[in-house]
Amino acid sequence: MQWYDDVGRNFEPLLTISIFPDSCTVNNGDCGSYATCSHEAITNAAICTCKAGYTNTGTPLNVVCN
């Protein structure tokens, strides 16, 4: 991709940010049926949160809702 300043000079950006597609759209982000999935766009992480009435019996990084 070519980048230009306001007078038409070509330059390379100092920082680029990648935005990933929503990781929750496939298989609920592997969160399980008793959890909701939230997508973190910068890291592409799927964040699982137990639905009301369910408790995480796993770890913060491996959510298991029962």
Q: Are strands 10-11 and 35-40 parallel, antiparallel or unpaired?
A: unpaired
d(CA 62, CA 50): 12
Tens-place pLDDT, residues 49-63: 999 999 999 998 899
Phi, psi angles (nearest 5°) of residue 56: -75, 115
Residue 22's pLDDT is what? 84
More confident residue, 49 or 16: 49
Which of the two residues, 45 and 55, has the higher pLDDT score?
Answer: 55
- For 31, counting Cβ atoms within 10 Å of its Cβ (0-12 exposed, 13-18 middle, 19+ buried), the class is buried
Residues shown for the chain: 66
Question: How do the domains of the chain map onto residue ranges?
Answer: 22-66
